[in-house]
Structure 1
Amino acid sequence: MTTAPSGLPASLRWDGGTLHLDPRGPAFFEDPYPAYAEMHRHCAFFRWHELDRLAVCGHSLVASLLRDRRFGRILPAASDGRPDYADIPQHLRNFYAIERHSMLDLEPPTHSRIRGLVLKAFVSRQVDRLAPRIEALANGLVDRFAGRGEVELVAGFATPLPVMVIAELIGVDASETAQLLDWSHRMVAMYQFGRTREIEIEADRAAAEFRDFVLGEIAAKRQRPGDDLLSALVRAETEEGKLSEDEMVSTIVLLMNAGHEATVHQIGNGVKTMLENGGANPRRLLADEAQGGRAVEEMLRFDAPLHLFERVALENVELPGGLTVRRGEEVALLLGAANRDPAAYMEPDRFDPARSGPAPVSFGGGIHFCVGAPLARLELRIALRVLFERLPDLRIAAPPRYRDSWHFHGLERLDLAFEPAAVRS
């Protein structure tokens, strides 16, 4: 058994081809990248004892498995691609009632049908048309703290902006955003390592409340449809008969939860990255649209918001190197580690907006590639440009603090200081 070198999490050690590493250890979730570098030195895949499954960190293999149709999100219980949740605990019945119809836990043909409807509604709205509204919302948030000379960015900017944008896109009143955030946080906690029964009970209660809210919104859109995604889904239900009410509820819950969670983290991670690694003038990197787009892609690689995506083998699969993954075996794809793979990127721990190399795997891949990726990129580019244009002398005022949630890698606090600026009239 080999122990981790100095500077790595104390819990990290190797036992042959098995990694021992506590994902809840602060030394890891605050900065997982030294541990990822150690993984790359060891192997592209290995057993992770605490996760109790095979883990893959190599970029090429992660990208391949995201697209490999011999793997899925679930082992379908029926030919329609739905999971079997017949044996779920009673205290999680509401949570899994939503999960059962969620795109995230479906395989074809049901997944293909629902995703096609969402993409049709989502893409047809032409995400770029949202740019002026995103900019106006971002400026409005900056107006709230520009005159103070300080802000805690996660609560003051990174959290409210994405939830307001996704609420408007879906067609939910902005006054509901605080409640939507509460439900989302309680449900997303289900995906963290080492969840407790208390977390499960709260997630189930949130799922029931969220479902009731969405049902009310659906009823309202049936009476008064608008130019929004929920109205488009209602039309698909009533005119085409392609979407059930349960599927509509699950789709809206998923889009709300996923539509802001990762973007909150990426805005925080992106601002921190720019202040620590963007040079003397981060504003310059974001001013030009093309250059800002490259900077955003590098932020998504350098400090991604999602670090874990799980897949399950739908049949026996032999991986490169001769390892066989048995049908039903789960595999942990380490997206954050893959984005720092030295076999894919020169000097992977250096932030370089001009770098070449393969696309980062931050949004996943294959049929489960994030439908909101274009919107997330747009929000990040506009949010950071507005922030650095309005407050060009931004600086970190206290050590940043990450959340105890390794798979969703994001900041809990980012305290910033700046010279007070005039508030726009």
Structure 2
Amino acid sequence: MFHWAEYGKTCVTSYAAVNAILRDRRFGREVPWDQQTPPAPHTAPFYAVDAHSMLELEPPRHTRLRGLVMRAFTSRRIAALTPEIAQLSHDLVDALPDGPFNLLTHFGQRLPVTIIARLLGVPESMSDDLLRWSNAMVKMYIATRSREMEDAAADAARDFSDFLRGYIEQRRNQPADDLITHLIAAEEAGEKLSTEELISTCILLLNAGHEATVHTIGNGVKALLDHPGAMAAPIDAVVEEIMRFDPPLHMFSRYAYDDVDVMGQIILKGTEVSLLLAAANHDPRAFDRPEMFNPQRAPKPNLSFGAGLHFCIGAPLARLELQVALPILFDRLPGLHIVDRPVFADTYHFHGLERLMVAR
């Protein structure tokens, strides 16, 4: 552990400690009541969405919301997307420019946002709006965000919510075979999702369903191009090593709800703890020669999707997209190579490229 003075945070780096805290119910996502402050009026639309997001909630509300979502977000529904992911991957490769191109804008972004839009039942014509709204909203998690970023996030949250409110009402009257319809129908112990909970859940699934996957595709393709021959390994092992080696999220935070002894270090009640996921995935006590990209390494769970109560609900979809799309990309473009220095985005807690210039 170390104290990050610039941000006033206690940071945890080892695999054992990060894994333990993620699973320990004495830590949680909700800000302790005595540390809560009302949001600034100009950020109210963003926090109106955040207030119903299961990402930020603890039991019993988290249990209820996640249970309802899991009734609609089933493994069978995810697996059924395999042919669509494959066809879309081929379509995106067919549409690639002849000369050098940015893999992120032509492939990495288009694939996950299109798939999550189809899964939810949102028109694919909204993809550009979804990307714009998502990119604006996630900037609220930047530690040194500006007023301009806050205004943009609030505007995006308002526009996103207005669109979904109308679309949810349409689906109430005209059900379809999509996730929004199934979320409307989902019921547990006589309870259903309210409209505000539906809006927050759809925004969470849309944002989380593509934002991290975009970064994982970019980071993964870069790693594979930097390590020729790595694609010869089984694709599920390749995907897990991509997630371990270069995860799309730098860190995830928890609050201590009691004084807790973690590996001999007392973390005081109320302390915000930042769990550095990539550091944990590169802990030499957990992974042999962790600095090496090695899909052949002995299987061991990485922490890129988190662990415990808040384990990423979209992990099966993210894995499936990578397992289907990456072999198609490399089979179709055997000469794919990097033509310019990759540029990582300055997004604080996310970790991904904004530019990966490649050619066939």
State the TM-score, normalizing by the size of structure 2. 0.96
**1:342 maps to which residue?**
284
Distance 1:357 1:383 in 2: 22
1:241 to 179, 191, 205: 191
Pairing 1:103–2:54 present: yes
Number of aligned residue pairs: give it: 360
Letter in 1 for 2:242: M
Map 1:47-58 onto structure 2 (within 5 A).
47-58=3-14
Amino acid at match of 2:21: L
SS across alignment from 1:416:
strand
Paired residues for 1:148-297 under 5 Å: 148-236=98-186, 240-277=190-227, 279=228, 281-285=229-233, 291-297=234-240
**RMSD (Å) for aligned C-alpha atoms:** 1.7
CA contact (8 A) 1:274 1:282 kept: yes
For 1:91, the aligned partner's letter is H
Compute the displacement of 1:189 (Å).
0.6
**Partner in structure 1 of residue 71 of structure 2:** 120
Which residue of the partner structure matches residue 39 of structure 1? none
SS of 1:126's equivalent in the other structure is helix
2:241 maps to a residue whose letter is E
Tell whether the 8 Å contact from 2:215 to 2:351 is kept in structure 1 after alignment.
Answer: yes
The answer as to whether partners of 1:101 and 1:247 remain within 8 angstroms in 2 is yes
- Matched residues in 2 for 1:60 and 1:283: separation? 29
Change (3 A) 1:330 1:239: closer
Quote the offset at 1:124 in angstroms: 5.2
Distance 1:237 1:203 in 2: 31
Give, in angstroms, the shift of residue 126 of structure 1: 3.3
Q: Deviations over 1:90-124 (max 9, x none)?
A: 01111101100001111000100110111111115
The answer to whether structure 1 residue 361 and structure 2 residue 303 are counterparts is yes
Residues 296/262 of structure 1: CA separation in 2 closer, same or farther (3 Å cut): same
Give deviations 1:311-362, integer Å, cap 9, x for gaps: 00111112222x3222221000000111111111111100111112531100
Distance 2:153 2:84 in 1: 32
Q: What secondary structure, in the 3-state scheme, does the structure 1 residue paired with 2:252 have? A: strand
Secondary structure, counterpart of 1:47 in structure 2: strand
Q: Which amino acid aligns with 1:265?
A: H
How far off is 1:371 after superposition? 0.3
- Superposed CA offset, 1:238-272 (max 9, x none): 99432111111100011111100000000000000
Partner of 1:145: helix, strand, or coil? coil
Deviations 1:165-201 (A, max 9, x none): 0011111010000001100000001112311111011
- Alpha-carbon distance between aligned partners in 1 of 2:328 and 2:299, rounded to the nearest angstrom: 28
1:309 aligns to 2:259 (yes or no): no
Distance in 2 separating the partners of 1:118 and 1:302: 30
Secondary structure of the residue that 2:200 maps to in structure 1? helix
**Sequence identity (%):** 48
Residue 138 of structure 1 and its aligned partner are, at CA, apart by 0.8
Per the alignment, do residues 60 and 238 of structure 1 end up closer, same or farther by CA in structure 2, a change over 3 Å counting? closer
- Which residue of structure 2 lines up, in the alignment, with residue 415 of structure 1? 357
Contact 1:270 1:299 in 2 (8 A): yes
The residue type equivalent to 1:52 in the other structure is G
Shift in alpha-carbon separation, 1:334–1:202, aligned structure 2, 3 A: same
Matches of 1:233 and 1:86 in 2, distance apart?
Answer: 31
The letter for the 1-side match of 2:243 is L
Give 3-state SS (helix, strand or coil) of 1:195's partner. Answer: coil
Q: Give 1:390's match in structure 2, choosing from 299, 309, 332.
A: 332
- Equivalent-residue separation in structure 2 for 1:76 and 1:113 (angstroms): 20
The residue aligned with 2:26 is: 70
Aligned-pair CA distance for 1:375:
0.5
- The residue that corresponds to 1:299 in the other structure is 242
Name the residue aligned to 1:3: none
| Residue 316 (structure 2) aligns with | 374
What is aligned with 2:263? 320
- 3-state SS of the aligned residue for 2:186? helix
Runs (4+) off by over 2 Å: 83-86, 236-242, 281-285
Say which one has the larger Rg: 1
Inter-partner Cα distance in structure 2 for 1:127 and 1:275: 28
Deviates more, 1:348-357 or 1:407-416: 348-357
The answer on whether the counterparts of 1:402 and 1:412 sit within 8 Å (CA) in structure 2 is: yes
Alignment of 1:31-42 (within 5 A): none
Q: Distance in 2 between matches of 1:305 and 1:388?
A: 21
Check the 8 A contact 2:2/2:12 in 1, yes or no: yes
